[in-house]
Amino acid sequence: MTDITRDVLIVGAGAAGLTAANELRKAGLSVAVLEARDRVGGRLWTDDVDGAMLEIGGQWVSPDQQALIDTIAELGLETFSRYREGDSVYVGADGVAKRFTGEMFPVSAATESAIAEITERLDAMVAEIDPDRPWAHPRAEEWDSVSWDAWLRAQTDDDEAVRNLAFATGSAMLTKPTHAFSLLQSLLMAASAGSYSNLVDADFILDKRVVGGLQQVPLLLAERIGDDLYLNSPVRTLEWGDDGVVAHADGGLTVRARQAILAHAPVLYSRISFVPALPRRQHQLHQHLSMGFVIKVHAVYDRPFWREQGLSGTAFSPYELSHEAYDNTNHGDERGTLVGFVSDRNADGVFELSAEERRERILESLSHYYGPEAKDPVVYYESDWGSEEWTRGAYAASFDLGGLHRYGADLRTAVGPIRFACSDMAGAGYQHVDGAIRMGRLVAGQIVESVGS
Ligand code: FDA
């Protein structure tokens, strides 16, 4: 049995929790970070799979993600650019792979003009959205009451245009079917990256990676926490009141603290028994958030063979099982790695198959972009975050239709001594590591201020 007392208890050693812990320590407060897993990083995880270094969770950094960029620099980590020389590939409704450069897919002139017009409309709407307060927009209720799919289909009859516009926030970001979330949720996703155009620009949103993997961010942050980090310690019960909190974790660990930060995905709040129970508002709002679902597929080859054909590795198709794929070769690696994504209903579908059939179907889809050689990787791995008990999906949580304007404003509201921080409630950097760091800093700042006053 271990019974310790600290100023602040932090539940979760992901980017958000570890950022908060370091900020609090800098301000002279003592912390205990309790992590359910046997490792730090949460959705950041670099591992060796059959001799290949794979980034199983988050990896890319975009140029607007200043909080993450600053953290990477402060930790002395090096970045490198995603390989992007040569042609991208698009597979349209006819199933034919077409090469293209630039941002516009090689579609008919009519489809291109529909995509361009609606993109302009979306950029104008996104410019009006404050990513920290999307519910404050005068049309928030209206925009939160119509699904992303229904709104797009009301703009044009061109199915290929709708599919291409839809997947930027659908399959590629919120990783839910486009009828399952609202236009407002989609605008928030785009506003968190600065604009809809930024979000669809792979060279922007998937710009850089960290040499050695992005998990080094939480690993290095955790080193600074030292013995105040407790792995294999899922918090099961949290007693709370005016005097603070008492947390009971596995292994007989009890932590007493004046304040607490729950730094994990909101879908996991209900895994903790709160004593007394959380208020009605939190009981309700937490039920309207759910994780998206995407399989990140890693295929490693003896060489980046697609580069020999003048291909960048960047590939898209709203008709393919793997709706997007990229060159994901590690820094300085002779071997070539492709990463593909299988999202929402497609992910449900392939998990109905045996592992062998699933691999075959997914590699078949990649071969439509890169040719038959794509079917024979030397290492193949599927990141399946849906079966991770302490995450339960990927990439992050979002509101159901109508939930954002109804509950969003209370997502970050403290309950007594308990505060909430996670990428899934960020404005800028929403659903990204940058957002996790921003939320960690925000909540740590609030605690320091409250202690000071
Ligand atoms: P995170 O979920 O990382 O951390 C929470 C921690 O709390 C976990 O370690 C968990 O085990 C722990 N925990 C939960 N319940 C607990 C309990 N009761 N007691 C103790 N501990 C508990 N982002 C990006 O910027 N670029 C990218 O390229 C990608 N790509 C990407 C791919 C994939 C496959 C995934 C899954 C995710 C991404 N992301 C991403 C998203 C990014 O990884 C994610 O937004 C952040 O890492 C989330 O960090 P947090 O600290 O908020 O939560």
Burial 126-165 (b: 16+ CB within 10 A, else e): beebebbebbebeebeebbebbbbebbbeebebebbbbbb
SS3 136: helix
Domains of the chain: 2-43+215-278+415-452 (3.50.50.60), 46-64+74-84+205-211+293-387 (3.90.660.10), 107-200 (1.10.405.10)
| C-beta 15 within 6 A of ligand 1 | yes
The confidence band for 155, taking pLDDT boundaries of 50, 70 and 90, is very high
Pick from 393, 399, 394: nearest CA to 188: 399
Atom number in ligand 1 closest to CA 12:
7
pTM over 0.95: yes
| 417 Cα to the center of ligand 1, angstroms | 23
Name the percent of the chain lying above pLDDT 90: 98
pLDDT tens digits, one per residue of 317-338: 999 999 999 999 999 999 999 9
| C-beta 431 within 6 A of ligand 1 | yes
pLDDT tens digits, one per residue of 250-306: 999 999 999 999 999 999 999 999 999 999 999 999 999 999 999 999 999 999 999
Tell me, what's the pLDDT at 103?
85
- Asked if residue 453 has pLDDT above 80, the reply is no
Tell me, what's the pLDDT at 429?
97
Rounded CA-CA distance 425/396 in Å is: 9
| C-beta 13 within 6 A of ligand 1 | yes
DSSP code at position 172: I
| C-beta 340 within 6 A of ligand 1 | no
Mean pLDDT of 359-387: 98
Matching residue, tokens 């590591």 = 433
Q: How many other CB atoms are found less than 10 A from the CB of residue 92? A: 19
| C-beta 42 within 6 A of ligand 1 | yes
Mean pLDDT of 346-364: 98
pLDDT tens digits, one per residue of 166-209: 999 999 999 999 999 999 999 999 999 999 999 999 999 999 99
